[in-house]
Structure 1
Amino acid sequence: MPQPAQIGALTDELVASITNFSPSTNAQAFKHAKDLAARGLRGYQYGRTNQFDVRAKLDGFDEKFRVLNRDDLANALLERLKELDKVSTKWTPETLSLLLQLSDRPVEKSNVDDLELLKPPQSPSPLTWAEIIADDPLDEEGIWESIDYAAESSEDEKDYRKREKARASEPTPSSSFTEEDSHLDPESYVIPIQKDALLDIRKEQFWRHPAEHQAGGALAEGNHAAKKSASEITELQMIREVLFMLAGLPTTLYTIDTNLREFKINTVFTLGHVVSLTLDDLLSDLGGIGTQIYRLRKWTGNNPPIPLFQTFEAAVMKRLAQFDSSLAGLQSRYLNPEVPVSVSLLELHNEVRGFAGPILQLATLVVAVMPTLSENPFLYLEALFERTSLAQMMSDVGLFQFFARIFLDCLQPYLKPIRIWMEHGELGPDNETFFVFMNDKSSEAASLWHDRYAIRRHLNGELHAPNFLHPAALRIFNTGKSIVFLKELANHHKYTNIAQDEPRLDFETICGEAESLPFAPFSELFGSAFEAWIGSKFSLASTVLRQKLSSECGLWEVLDTFRIVYLGADGSLLQDFADLVFERMDELDSNWNDRYLLTELVHGIYGAVLAPGQAERLVIRRSTTKHRGRSVKGLSAVVVDYNIPWSIANIIQKSSLQIYQRAFGFLLKVYRAKYLLQKVSWNDIQGLGDDSLSRLGLKMRHRLIWSTDVLRTYLTETVFASSTSQMEEALSAADDIDAMAGIHTSYITRLQDLCLLSKNFSPIYQAIMSLLDLVVDFADAHSRRPNASASLAKVQTSQQKRDARRRKLRDRRRSIIPTRQNSSDDGSEDEYDGDAESSTSHDAATSESLYKIQEQFDRLVPFVVAGLKGVSRAGGESAWEMLAERLDWNFKVRCS
């Protein structure tokens, strides 16, 4: 085993043994733990970016922009890449790779005009003399006088010293400091400390006091021992501590148990005018509120890696901020009251209980769903949906709006992969929260709709999606596949603007802008809005795809081909093809089913009737069969194949072609039986000699013809014509390929059952095949007679010209032979006796064959009739009952 594979296997075992995660039940957590372990075991953490891959992606962007008629964007990209090549460094590929990964639909969202904002400001123009003179004109007095640039002399130095002395002799300004000020004490300007005021301030800071105080009453009584007592504080101080606690800040009135994450009351502090039990109960209730909110605050700091959880966390943090804003309003009212305010802890409790109700229910919801979020990442969405519906039933307007808005905010990130899938047919990388995944990336285009993508489900078979989205999951799945299908048809560039008419999914759109509860249930309101949201994408994609399949891919032409070729809709064409095949078959040549000759035969017969290009898709395939001789089962060696286009193969699957071929084989065998019966003429049966034998032959011929006609009528009219018309009508009204494929699959299944081709009907089908083989025996019984007419001789030929020549030669031979018999006594007598013996022996064989045929016919028909009636009465098709009645009617009439 290669080293990377071995390390990967060992890493899987290590993660499974330590974390007890299973990749089948908890794939997300297992993958996250494996990634963490793999980073520690890896020799290096960061690999260099493939610069050639980056360059290829940029070239791909350039080509894509030009194909989509965005030459301005392509030119701007090319120009900046050239500028970047001049200042390129070794980290340039990494930078470009990061920009490529951050790009989001540049064709739609990029605007070349925005590049003007990135240009640096223009540098100021150079300063000119004209600007200088304009600001400071050179018109001062003496500015244009000549200057003596000679070296300085000693006289100049003397003049300079004189000027310095004169400047030093000038009197200095008077100072405000006097000599009296020099005797002042600086400490006299220091304000003395007011120790009483400082003590009052420290007294107000009750949290600095020790927990133990000396009781004044104990000192008055002379008890000097230290004794524990409560510290009395004001109600305003207690309200301030409660508000701090509710905000999650550390307080002295409450202590935080970091293990249990709860607030506990510090019983040292009390109110002088409140009973301790009442105060403890009130503070405990407030502490319970603070505990739930504190746990909710701690939960928001987990930084979950999944975007769905991040959005939920952001929504919770937003509601906590609103709660903190309400607390700040209370603090401001007590800190800087604009009007007189009554300081009441009980009133504060009622107010906090009022506006903290929704956040407390949210905290309860978070505690309930947290343990199972790793297994079911949509549980919080389902819980929010249920809480919203419950709040509506309770007629709580505030709670309903609170949870409805959170639910719709948290739903938006889940709509993003749905939107990308329905608009572009793309799946995000490693997005295990979405219920669509790529099942087989290498699947053929012919199985794109059925095999390439699949719906993710849990182990119990439940859909891996929120339960309120289950009714629309299939439409979402089919819309994305329709876009992928259109991409394969190279037409997707016409429909990239699907999202322009997308309706909004927010609270105002779903529930209205009124501050009251909506009359309709929230589940129905959301379902209707979500159906409209999906319909804005589904209708266009499915409509365009159906039009392309009908107009460009030739769906109806293919169905017409199947109806004409396989189902015998044009009986004359099928009769021509069958007669030519039967003639080759009657030649007793082993190469009668040569696929090249029969393929040319099919093209010649059906080419003028089918749509252009359809006949060329028909190919005869020679199949091996164990049935030899003249049995109708030998026709199974002729199989008509059709090369289905890949786009149509997603509707008419290749497995359905076998049912068409078997139905065609059944019909061809019925045609074979009727073909042989037509070769047995009235004169052939009358020439048997014995009247009873002739009546038996006529009787069996009539019964066999009736049976074959009933079977052919049943197949062509009752089964093929009616079922096909119903199928085509349903296909024209189908919404998408999935519905069309389902309709055709149901049609094929029903066609297989009506033709008795299913495994459950095998005994009845085999009995019918034996009944058709009786026709072959009946024809063979008459063809063995030496005096058989020319119609039976035609069974042994394949071409009409050869048959005509043989009839002429046979007639000549018969006209000459009797003349020779009359001219010779002995010879004619011998020949006559030999013919008589031969005729007698053949009549005996024919009589035996006819009686056997009658016996088997009397046994097979009741069996087929009973079987058809049994399956029809057991909940089957009424057509079986009709077929049984028609077969049984002829049988009863002839037997009576």
Structure 2
Amino acid sequence: MAQNAKISALSDELIHSIIGFDAATNRQAYRHAKEIASRGLRGHQYGRTNQFDITSNLTGLDEKFRVKNRDDLADALQARIQKLQGLTSRFTPDYLSLLLQLSDRPLENTRVEALELLQPPSPPPLLTWDEILEDDPYSDEDIWKDIDYAVDSSGDERTSQKRGKAKSSPPTSVDEDKTYDPKDCIVPPEPDLVQILEAAQYWSVVRDNDANTDITELQAVRETLSMLAGLPTSLYHLDTQQNHIRINPRYALSHAMSATVDDLLSRFVAIAKDIYRLRQWTKRSSTLPLVQSFEAAVRTRLVAFDCALARLQQQYLTPSPPIVVSLLRLHTDIQFFSTPLRRLAQLVMSIEPEILLNPFSHLEALFETITLAQLTLETTVFQYLSSVFFDCLQTYLKPIRKWMEEGELGANDDTFFVFQSDSRSDANSLWHDRYVLRRDAHNDLRSPSFLQPAAKKIFNTGKSIVFLKELGFQGVGTKNNHPEPRLTHATVCGISDEVPLSPFPELFNIAFDNWIQSKYSQASTVLRRHLIENSGLMRTLDILEMVYLGKNGAVFEDFANALFERMDGGRRGWNDRYVLTELTRGIFGTVMVNSDAEKIVTRTWKVKNKNQSVEPLATVSLDFALSWPIQNIIQRSSSVVYQQVSSFLLQTYRVKYLLQRTRPSRTADFRDQTAQLSHKLRHRLTWFADTLRSYLTETAIFFSTQDMIAAMEKAEDIDNMAHVHLTYIARLQERAILSTDVNLIHKAIVEILDLGVQFAQAVAGKESSNAIRGATDKRISTRQRIVAPIPVVAELSEVETDSDGERIGLPSVPESIEQQSPMASFQSIDAEFARLLHFVTAGLRSVGRVGAEPMWEQLAERLEWEGKRDR
């Protein structure tokens, strides 16, 4: 029963404190609320605190303190536990559990000497008679006289009279009467006070419509101060619908000319109009935090202005010392401290139409006005608006701080210039696709103009935090031992009363850059170190250079030769991607670890075979699997250029491979014109292939990669790293003559390489014909294989064909060459080579002169050297 009564009392107190129902006025609602509260209290039975766990925790703390060499702290804890054991209470485990949960790293934060402050004060010493006598010694001799205890008699009248003349003791607090008369609290009014108040109310004096009411200058001053404070007055009429203030012509100053007074009062009206509009604007509440902070800053300035008006009113109401009442002096004072507020009011009126569309337009307007005030040396306006600007800026810095420290964006925050475009994007495109910058219809960044130079760094810092979270580093990069730099007028512009010499935009950019750098440097440094050391960025770039760009020429040539042997084998499955993948991994596995070699995959496409071209090599591509952090730097678009350069290198190796297998035998007759022309073409085509391969590997690839590695080591974040790699890819494509600007020159070079294939086919056809004629003379079977310099030369009946009737394998003799004699074929190839070589060298020189790559002119010189010598 006691428990139920206690629950009932608690329910009553809870209902009264939260809902405020009165049982007498609303019994039904009160009874319903009490029923709900009682049901909730009865439905929850929580277990008591386990006292054994508490004892175990305290024992563990004692052991921890002693292990950490804090015996003093352990002894203090043990002493208090022993003292607590003498105090028996069933709530002792609960008290100790609460204290343990409230503790915050007691080993580091507890000082034993601070426990002395918890000691109760020592009780005062007992008062002794010696101390009493020392302060108040016995000095009255009558105290030792005997007291007359006899009954009073007539004989004692003299003594009684003598005692009656003695002074009475003052009344004590016990005898004091606390009742008093209320009339004693009433101050009698002055008899003339009512008449004085009625005389001061000049507006209540009834006059004729044509007559003016004379007022004193003090009355005009009071009316002006009330009007400036936004209060209704008689001297000034306020039109709330038109937001207009005008002077009431019925009142005049008898001691001054009406024109002079009207001009002076109109100046007060001009000041009051701006301030009144500002007051009306602050009454319109907004839902945007940026606008709300601006409204709060304006209200604060209006309150300061009203306080200044109140101080002026106090000077005229209770002047101390006496002052001269003057409207001119009042105008000077009002104009002094209202000028910054009027400038703020004009700024608000100018941005009011667009502040809802552009919520940070007030920041831009304040920034421009502050800069202009500094240029015109308006010190008061500069300092006043600067304080407003930095007060409003703190609200805009909150989402920036949250983004840069935690990598998080506010929900439905359209005022921040970063937003999440695709929350479900893959991690390999996190840096480039998941978050984007918010832009308007004109593709301008939707942020204050003065923050746009630092927007990219803010954007990258937040993405670095998100990137680190994806890597599993929670909270890394956000901890900074140094306090955050403050952005206030004092820290940016200094505490001097004068305008700073340096321009305000420059001062702000320096301060804001320091604020950004305090959050940017640590996150970017941690992420950069992880990408280079843990993710192996530089090692990956080295592998890509080896696989695609032929960094190790011997290994790349082994891969090319193995590929060419399968192509020339004349079999249908030469381009099987599974076989080629194992072949590629085995070759490149000799110079790299197995884990990296296993990431290489060879892909092929089916195309109709072009027997006289090197283009089928483009159907073979190598893919290297990159980890998702590296894919944010080496983007997917880069693989296309890597494949193009690799195919171009394979094409040069292909021509050299074929030309090496068309070397003349030792018994060849070089006095024959056909043999001489064949030897000349072999030399020129071999020289062209070697020169082109040397240019690609030793000039274009080497210098581009060297510049990229140097820039990559200096990059600060992923954005810079990705930009460095994209620049490297673009430069590599251009220097390797693979860009669209020099597409015609590249086609001409490929045609020259195709001439090498045609030359090898022509030589193969010529030697095949000679071998067949010799076999006929010797009566050998025509189905016997001919041993030719190129291993693909075989009898026509033994060469496999595809479904279209095309022969498989390279090289095969085309109809145009088969129909010509060897001499005619060599002559046509020589003429075409000379024409294409001239076109290539002239094209390289022309594009080199218009500011393209200077190494193209060097390549033209090397290619033209043989032509000059030939001529």
TM-score (norm 2): 0.72
Q: How far 1:843 moved relative to its partner?
A: 13
SS state at 1:356 partner: helix
Tell me: CA distance 1:376–1:528, structure 2 relative to 1, closer, same or farther (3 Å). Answer: same
SS state at 2:403 partner: helix
Work out whether residues 288 and 359 of structure 2, in 8 Å CA contact, stay in contact via their aligned partners in 1: no
Work out whether residues 865 and 888 of structure 1, in 8 Å CA contact, stay in contact via their aligned partners in 2: yes
SS state at 2:439 partner: coil
Deviations 1:823-874 (A, max 9, x none): xxxxxxxxxxxxxxxxxx9998322221221122122111212222222223
Counterpart Cα distance in 2 of 1:261 and 1:453? 47
AA at the equivalent of 1:659: V
Q: How far 1:413 moved relative to its partner?
A: 0.4
Counterpart Cα distance in 2 of 1:623 and 1:321? 78
AA at the equivalent of 2:735: L
Q: How far 1:349 moved relative to its partner?
A: 1.0
Q: What does residue 351 of structure 1 align with?
A: 333
Tell me: CA distance 1:111–1:262, structure 2 relative to 1, closer, same or farther (3 Å). Answer: farther
Q: How many residues align?
A: 655
Q: What does residue 448 of structure 1 align with?
A: 430
Q: How far 1:310 moved relative to its partner?
A: 0.6
Q: What does residue 827 of structure 2 align with?
A: 851
Q: What does residue 72 of structure 2 align with?
A: none
Counterpart Cα distance in 1 of 2:864 and 2:202? 109
1:725 paired with 2:721, answer: no
SS state at 1:437 partner: strand
Unpaired runs of 5+ residues, structure 1, are 1-71, 73-109, 115-189, 214-226, 799-840
Q: What does residue 874 of structure 1 align with?
A: 850
Q: How far 1:275 moved relative to its partner?
A: 0.8
Q: How far 1:517 moved relative to its partner?
A: 2.1
Work out whether residues 510 and 529 of structure 1, in 8 Å CA contact, stay in contact via their aligned partners in 2: yes
Counterpart Cα distance in 1 of 2:187 and 2:848? 115
Counterpart Cα distance in 1 of 2:670 and 2:330? 122
AA at the equivalent of 1:867: G
Deviations 1:175-215 (A, max 9, x none): xxxxxxxxxxxxxxx999999764443222112223x34xx
Out of 238, 241, 246, which is 2:220 matched to? 238
AA at the equivalent of 1:314: A
SS state at 1:532 partner: helix
Q: What does residue 497 of structure 2 align with?
A: 515
Counterpart Cα distance in 1 of 2:707 and 2:189? 105
Q: What does residue 495 of structure 1 align with?
A: 477
Q: What does residue 810 of structure 2 align with?
A: none
Work out whether residues 715 and 721 of structure 2, in 8 Å CA contact, stay in contact via their aligned partners in 1: yes
Tell me: CA distance 1:235–1:567, structure 2 relative to 1, closer, same or farther (3 Å). Answer: same
AA at the equivalent of 2:791: V
1:696 paired with 2:677, answer: yes
Q: What does residue 863 of structure 1 align with?
A: 839
Counterpart Cα distance in 1 of 2:591 and 2:624? 16
Q: What does residue 289 of structure 1 align with?
A: 271
Which shifted more, 663-672 or 606-615? 606-615
Out of 727, 742, 748, which is 2:729 matched to? 748
Counterpart Cα distance in 2 of 1:337 and 1:634? 103
Counterpart Cα distance in 1 of 2:188 and 2:321? 36
1:776 paired with 2:748, answer: no
Q: How far 1:794 moved relative to its partner?
A: 5.3
Work out whether residues 377 and 433 of structure 1, in 8 Å CA contact, stay in contact via their aligned partners in 2: yes
Counterpart Cα distance in 2 of 1:582 and 1:771? 19
Q: What does residue 381 of structure 1 align with?
A: 363
Work out whether residues 587 and 797 of structure 1, in 8 Å CA contact, stay in contact via their aligned partners in 2: no
Work out whether residues 662 and 789 of structure 2, in 8 Å CA contact, stay in contact via their aligned partners in 1: no
Counterpart Cα distance in 2 of 1:610 and 1:741? 25
Tell me: CA distance 1:720–1:512, structure 2 relative to 1, closer, same or farther (3 Å). Answer: same
Deviations 1:460-510 (A, max 9, x none): 122111111111111111111111111111113233424853211111111
Work out whether residues 558 and 614 of structure 1, in 8 Å CA contact, stay in contact via their aligned partners in 2: no
1:309 paired with 2:285, answer: no
Tell me: CA distance 1:417–1:340, structure 2 relative to 1, closer, same or farther (3 Å). Answer: same
Q: What does residue 767 of structure 1 align with?
A: 748
Q: What does residue 204 of structure 2 align with?
A: 208
The 5 Å alignment of 1:130-149 reads none
Q: How far 1:755 moved relative to its partner?
A: 2.0
Work out whether residues 583 and 797 of structure 1, in 8 Å CA contact, stay in contact via their aligned partners in 2: no
SS state at 2:238 partner: strand
Out of 865, 868, 871, which is 1:889 matched to? 865
AA at the equivalent of 2:712: L
SS state at 2:475 partner: helix
Q: What does residue 734 of structure 1 align with?
A: 715
The 5 Å alignment of 1:152-167 reads none
SS state at 1:232 partner: strand
Work out whether residues 731 and 740 of structure 1, in 8 Å CA contact, stay in contact via their aligned partners in 2: yes
Q: What does residue 715 of structure 1 align with?
A: 696
AA at the equivalent of 2:197: I
Q: What does residue 542 of structure 2 align with?
A: 560
SS state at 1:859 partner: helix
Unpaired runs of 5+ residues, structure 2, are 1-60, 62-100, 106-185, 772-784, 795-816
Counterpart Cα distance in 2 of 1:598 and 1:192? 116
Q: What does residue 330 of structure 1 align with?
A: 312
Deviations 1:669-693 (A, max 9, x none): 1001111111122427x62575222
Counterpart Cα distance in 2 of 1:612 and 1:521? 61
Deviations 1:570-623 (A, max 9, x none): 000011111111111111112112111111111111113225522111100012
AA at the equivalent of 1:877: E
Counterpart Cα distance in 1 of 2:188 and 2:293? 58
Percent identity (aligned): 46
Out of 663, 671, 684, which is 1:681 matched to? 663
Work out whether residues 560 and 650 of structure 2, in 8 Å CA contact, stay in contact via their aligned partners in 1: yes
Counterpart Cα distance in 1 of 2:189 and 2:616? 124
Which shifted more, 853-862 or 560-569? 853-862
Counterpart Cα distance in 2 of 1:553 and 1:376? 43
AA at the equivalent of 1:602: T
The 5 Å alignment of 1:423-462 reads 423-462=405-444
Q: How far 1:720 moved relative to its partner?
A: 0.7
Work out whether residues 621 and 639 of structure 1, in 8 Å CA contact, stay in contact via their aligned partners in 2: yes
The 5 Å alignment of 1:518-597 reads 518-597=500-579
Tell me: CA distance 1:654–1:537, structure 2 relative to 1, closer, same or farther (3 Å). Answer: same
Q: How far 1:875 moved relative to its partner?
A: 2.5
The 5 Å alignment of 1:403-422 reads 403-422=385-404
Work out whether residues 679 and 791 of structure 1, in 8 Å CA contact, stay in contact via their aligned partners in 2: no
Deviations 1:683-725 (A, max 9, x none): 27x6257522221111111111110011000110111111011
Counterpart Cα distance in 1 of 2:359 and 2:820? 85
TM-score (norm 1): 0.70
Work out whether residues 477 and 526 of structure 2, in 8 Å CA contact, stay in contact via their aligned partners in 1: no
SS state at 2:352 partner: helix
Counterpart Cα distance in 1 of 2:786 and 2:844? 39
AA at the equivalent of 1:381: L
AA at the equivalent of 2:326: S
Counterpart Cα distance in 1 of 2:224 and 2:603? 89
Tell me: CA distance 1:844–1:395, structure 2 relative to 1, closer, same or farther (3 Å). Answer: closer
Q: What does residue 18 of structure 1 align with?
A: none
1:706 paired with 2:687, answer: yes
Q: What does residue 379 of structure 2 align with?
A: 397
Q: How far 1:308 moved relative to its partner?
A: 0.5
Q: How far 1:516 moved relative to its partner?
A: 2.2
Counterpart Cα distance in 1 of 2:631 and 2:738? 22
